[in-house]
Chain A
Amino acid sequence: AQKVTQAQTEISVVEKEDVTLDCVYETRDTTYYLFWYKQPPSGELVFLIRRNSFDEQNEISGRYSWNFQKSTSSFNFTITASQVVDSAVYFCALYNQGGKLIFGQGTELSVKP
């Protein structure tokens, strides 16, 4: 079965706090790709990162960092020093040999000033 689970439905933090969004996936394929997308209130999904299953290196991009661990089938996303503009729904997604993007249910992040 191919599945993506984002257990946190909503998270609320105060500006400048660090926050981690969890993502756990299930797949039997050895080759797959993991994504994170951001959906601000305007509605457009914005691509943040793609990781393939053979690259477990963690990545940092500014205040964003991603921790990919195949051993636990997790691909967690951390925002350091959160800002109000980070408020959005964040989707983790899996692409595998099945040929389509499988989204998690999303985590709504609210960053309060």
Chain B
Amino acid sequence: DAMVIQNPRYQVTQFGKPVTLSCSQTLNHNVMYWYQQKSSQAPKLLFHYYDKDFNNEADTPDNFQSRRPNTSFCFLDIRSPGLGDAAMYLCATSSSGGYNEQFFGPGTRLTVL
């Protein structure tokens, strides 16, 4: 089945220790998104790729970066995680514009010690 896969599902890191979360898709969608979702809150868009074009949200901290080496893969790098970065990180994909439905992965729950 075509899908969005996120690894790992659970990630524990130490304060200040860089961490990378990965997302892959078999849907061949050209748009990929990274969202941060904290407890009892709505998902918050961090950035997205439209093909190779990177679009950063204005309020996304510099601590968060992303790479998309090819259509299928996208990575979220947190350079120096703080306690406030503990959250669920959701990857999503869509074909063409965001007016098409987004397909979400199962998320990676990040714990910062």
Contacts and interface: CB of A to CB of B under 8 A. Distances in A.
Interface of A: 33, 35, 37, 42-47, 50, 52, 91, 95, 99-101, 103-106
Contacts of B100: 50
Contacts of B97: 99
Contact of B106 (A35, A44, A105): A44
Summarize A's interface: helix, strand, loop or mixed: strand
What are the 6 A-B residue pairs with the smallest beta carbon separation, nearest first? A103-B42, A45-B104, A47-B101, A43-B107, A44-B106, A33-B99
Nearest to B90: A45
B9 to A, nearest CB: 9
B43 A45 contact: yes
Contacts of A45: 43, 90, 92, 102, 104
Determine the main DSSP class of B at the interface with A: loop
Interface of B: 40-43, 45, 48, 55, 57, 88, 90, 92, 97-107, 109
Nearest to B6: A44
Contacts of A105: 41-42
B91 to A, nearest CB: 10
Given A43-B109, A95-B98, A101 B104 contact: no
B43 A103 contact: yes
Contacts of A99: 55, 97-98
Nearest to A46: B104
Output the residue of B43, B45, B55, B103 with the most chain A CB within 10 A: B43
A100 B101 contact: no
Contacts of A50: 99-101
